[in-house]
Amino acid sequence: MTLLARPTRRYDYVADGAAIYDESFATIRREATFDHLPADAERVAVRMVHGTGQTDLAHDLVVHPGLVAAARTALEAGAPILTDAHMVASGVTRARLPRDNEVLCALRDRRTPELALALGTTRSAAALSLLADRLEGSVVAIGNAPTALFHLLEMLLDGAPRPAAIIGVPVGFIGAAESKQALEDAPADWGLDIPFLTVRGRRGGSAMAASALNALAQERE
């Protein structure tokens, strides 16, 4: 056996990457409904469902009517993407970015652990503070830590520079649902009207954030 030969085909499966995408998206559109979302957010939702394997995710998505236009315009103007986790950054398909946009995460910045101690918060939250001077006009994607999303909202309410759009999809059992509810309620609670995308409940994660970013980066599926 040569290791770089094609192994004997024992299973019947689709092995064409483009066909897999097409069939996947078609399956999702057959099984899920997106009528409750802004029309221009349908492709974003399809890609997020795709990344999770769960069509019922669509029900829990909440998308601000201005989100898609705001995020896409920002990225097309060269805005950076700010994330709370290296997995989110790693999941962004660089070839889809319209301007070779920077994708930033400060979690491994050597100042982060000390700053987290000083601020009395998590490293994920502190890492966002280190990116504060890049917030203006950016696309922020929180895919891991609820504390990072709470921290971002608190920074903004204190007057930090405004991002163009917020993808807020932290995951988990402690604070995740609450932080996303806070994002959804921020316009009513505080008059903070920044276009956002979120998913209600405990679901979320770095893959979901990356899916959203990859859909927002280009209109083309």
Does position 91 bind its own copies by CB under 8 A?
yes
Does position 33 bind its own copies by CB under 8 A?
no
Q: Name the one range near its own copies by CB under 8 A: 37-45, 83-91, 96-104, 213-221.
A: 83-91
Looking at the Cβ atoms of 68 and 145, the one nearer to its own copies is 145
Does position 89 bind its own copies by CB under 8 A?
yes
Instruction: Give me the torsion for CA of 192, 142, 61, 204, rounded to 10°.
Output: -150
Does position 125 bind its own copies by CB under 8 A?
yes
Is 64 part of the annotated catalytic residue set? no
Q: Which of 95, 100, 110, 159 binds its own copies (CB under 8 A)?
A: 159
Q: Which of 38, 96, 102, 130 binds its own copies (CB under 8 A)?
A: 130
Residues 170-209 within binding reach of its own copies (CB under 8 A) = 171-176, 178-179, 182, 190, 201-207
What is the per-residue DSSP string for 155-198?
HHHTTPPPPSEEEE---SSSSHHHHHHHHHHHHHHH-----EEE
Choose, from 36, 50, 59, 86, the residue flagged as catalytic: 50
Looking at the Cβ atoms of 38 and 201, the one nearer to its own copies is 201
Please enumerate in sequence order all residues whose Cβ is within 8 A of that of 131, keeping only pairs 6 or more positions apart, or say none. 82, 104, 106
Kindly state the helix (H) or strand (E) to which residue 212 belongs, with its residue range.
Answer: helix 206-217
Distance CA 201, CA 156 (A): 23
Does position 4 bind its own copies by CB under 8 A?
yes
- The strand pairing partners of 61, in sequence order, are 199
How many residues in the shown chain lie near its own copies by CB under 8 A? 72
- Calculate the alpha carbon distances from 59 to 56, 129, 200 in Å: 6, 32, 9
Q: Among all residues, which ones are annotated catalytic?
A: 50
